[in-house]
Amino acid sequence: MNKQTGLLMLMAAVCLSACGPREDDMQRKEIQLITVAPGHFHAALVQKSMYPQVDSVVHVYAPEGTELKSHLALIDQYNTRQEMPTRWKEVVYTGADFLETMLKERKGNVVVLAGNNRDKIDYITQSIDAGLNVLADKPMAINPEGFSKLVDAFAKAEERGVLLYDIMTERYEINTMLQKELSQVRGFFGELEKGTPDNPAITKESVHHFFKEVSGKPLVRPAWFYDTRQQGEGLVDVTTHLVDLVQWESFPDEIIDYGQDIELVSARRWPTVVTPAQFERSTGQPEIPAFLAESVDEAGNLAAYANGEINYTLKGVHAKVSVIWNFEAPQGTGDTHYSIMRGKYANLIIKQGAAEQYKPVLYVESTGERDATAFEATLAQAVEQLGADYKGLSFEQLAPGRYRISVDPSLVTTHEEHFAQVAEKYLGFLQSGTMPEWEVPNMIAKYYLTTKALTEAETVTAP
C-alpha cells in the first residue's frame, strides 16, 4: 500500500468510526479540523479563509478562559465580516480532560495547534500516536527535551502515515520569494559567498512587538506569553522562521543533515524589560502573576528573555539570525524584517524601515565584480526570466549599482493572509499523501539549531 492510499484510507476510517452517523455524511468534506487549546491568535488565522476540501464544522477542545473566548471571538469576526465572510461552525468542549476527550472522540483528522509552547510538543506527540495529522504553529520545540520528542514524533508520523508540519508563513512574503528566486539565477547572482563570522553570507534580523493589533483589534496576550518556560525564549521562537528561510533560500529542495551540515559558532540572549503598566495593557491582568516572580526586578519590572542571536554555518556558509522584541512599535510602524544574501556579483537586500514606509522592499546591489553596464544587463535578463511567474516584475535604478525590485500589487499579501497560503500548501500535501523529501529533515534541522543555540546561550549568560 502506498502512502497516498494509506492516508485516504485513514481519512475514511476516521470519518466513519469517529464522526458518528449524521444525515449529511455524504456531504461531509474530506478533511475535518480539530483545534486544541488555541492560546495564540495564529490558530484563528488558519480559519480566516475557507477551503473547499475542509469541512465547515470545526471541533475545539480547550480549557475555559479568556484564550478560548478570544479565539472564538476572532472566528465570529471572520464569520460576520461583510467582505467574503467565512462559514465556520465551532463545536466546543471545555472539560478539564479536553485532550483525552479529543483523542477518544476523534471528531476530525487534522489537529491545529497554536498556543502554549511548553504543552504543544506533548499535544503533538499524543495526536501523532493517535494517528492524527498535525498542523502546528511554530515553535514545535523550545528546549532540547522537546527536540528529542519532536524527532520521535516525526518517526512515528512516518510509521502511521500521517503528516506533521509547522506553519512557516514567511516563505510566502513576496520579497522573500524574489530574494530566493534571484539568488538561484547564477548568471546574475553568482555563487553564494561563504562569508565569515564577522561578515556572514546571510543575515536575517526580525523585530517584533508584544503589544499590537490583529485583524484590526488590540491583541490580548496571555500572561504565560511572558514566561519563557512556556512560550520559549526568542532564540527558539521567532528565530524558527529565520533559520527556516536561510535553509529554504540558500539550499532549496536540498536535504539538510543536522549532524553534518550545521555548526553552531555562537549564541547570545538578552531580556526585554516590561513595566507593570505595560504588562497590564498587554494582558489585561492588573498584577504580574506569581509564576513570573523570579523574572521581576526590585522595581517591579519584568525581564523577558525574548531577544537572541545565533551565528552558525550551514553547509559551510556563514549565517546570522537575530530577533528583537520591543513592547510596542512607534505609531504608524510595525514588525520589521531585514535580510541580506551576498553573492559573487550581487547582494540581495530586504529592508522594512522608515524609508520603505515599514513595508518590505527588495533591493539589489552590485558587488563591483562586473562593470555597471554588464551588471544591469544580467539583472534585466534575470528579471525577464522570472517575469513569466511573477506578474509585473520590474526594477528601477536608485543609484549607480543599486536597484529596487517591484511586482504587481496583486502579488503582495499580508502576514495574516500567509496563514491561508500555508494551510493550502499543507492541504495539498494531505491530498497527495506526502511532502517533499526535504521538508521533514529540514524541520528537524532548524529545531536542532534553535534548541542547541539556547543551551549555548544559557551557559554564557548570567541569570
Query: 160 Cβ partners below 8 Å, 6+ apart?
Result: 10, 128, 131
Query: Confidence class of residue 21 from pLDDT cuts 50, 70 and 90?
Result: very low
Give me the sheet containing 394-399, strands edge to edge. Answer: 262-274, 302-314, 317-328, 202-211, 336-342, 346-351, 361-366, 402-406, 394-399
Write out the three cell numbers for 375: 551588471
Cα separation values, 161 from 92, 109, 164, Å: 28, 12, 10
pLDDT digits (tens, 9 = 90+) for 270-316: 999 999 999 999 999 999 999 999 999 989 999 999 999 999 999 99
Taking the domain 171-417, which CATH number applies?
Answer: 3.30.360.10
Of 316, 378, 321, the C-alpha closest to 346 is 378
66 with 222: CB under 8 angstroms?
A: yes
Q: Which helix (H) or strand (E) holds 380?
A: helix 372-386
200 with 319: CB under 8 angstroms?
A: yes
3.40.718.10, 3.40.50.720, 3.90.105.20, 3.30.70.1110: which CATH number matches 3-166? Answer: 3.40.50.720
Query: Confidence class of residue 27 from pLDDT cuts 50, 70 and 90?
Result: low
Phi, then psi, of 398 in degrees rounded to 5: -105, -30
**CB neighbours of residue 36 within 10 Å:** 28
pLDDT digits (tens, 9 = 90+) for 63-79: 999 999 999 999 999 99
> Could you tell me the end-to-end alpha-carbon distance of the chain, in angstroms, rounded to an integer?
54
Give me the sheet containing 164-166, strands edge to edge. Answer: 89-93, 57-61, 33-36, 110-113, 133-136, 164-166
pLDDT digits (tens, 9 = 90+) for 136-159: 999 999 999 999 999 999 999 999
Report the Cα 1 to chain-centroid distance in Å: 33
With b for 16 or more beta-carbon neighbours within 10 A and e for fewer, the 144-158 pattern comes to eebbebbeebbeebe
The amino acid that residue 135 corresponds to is L
The C-alpha atoms of residue 311 and residue 339 are separated, in whole angstroms, by 14
Mean pLDDT of all residues belonging to the chain: 92
Of 402, 406, 403, the C-alpha closest to 394 is 406
Percent of the chain exceeding pLDDT 90 equals: 84
Query: Confidence class of residue 7 from pLDDT cuts 50, 70 and 90?
Result: very low
**Which residues sit opposite 322 in a β-bridge?**
205, 309
User: How many helical (H) and strand (E) elements, i.e. helices and strands, does the chain have?
Assistant: 14, 17
Domain ranges of the chain: 3-166, 171-417
Write out the three cell numbers for 94: 471545555
Residue carrying the nine cell digits 499579501: 413
Write out the three cell numbers for 418: 500567509
How many degrees, rounded to 5, is the angle at CA 243 between CA 240 and CA 248? Answer: 115
**Which residues sit opposite 296 in a β-bridge?**
302
For 201-232, the DSSP string reads SEEEEEEEEEE-EETTEEPPPPGGGG-TTTT-
Least confident piece of the model among 3-7, 24-28, 272-276: 3-7
pLDDT digits (tens, 9 = 90+) for 159-190: 999 999 999 999 999 999 999 999 999 999 99
Report the Cα 163 to chain-centroid distance in Å: 17
* pLDDT at 20 exceeding the cut of 80: no
Question: What per-residue confidence (pLDDT) applies to 461?
Answer: 65
Cα separation values, 409 from 56, 174, 175, 391, 392, Å: 31, 10, 12, 9, 8
pLDDT digits (tens, 9 = 90+) for 98-142: 999 999 999 999 999 999 999 999 999 999 999 999 999 999 999
Question: What per-residue confidence (pLDDT) applies to 358?
Answer: 86
Of 192, 233, 248, 234, the C-alpha closest to 425 is 248
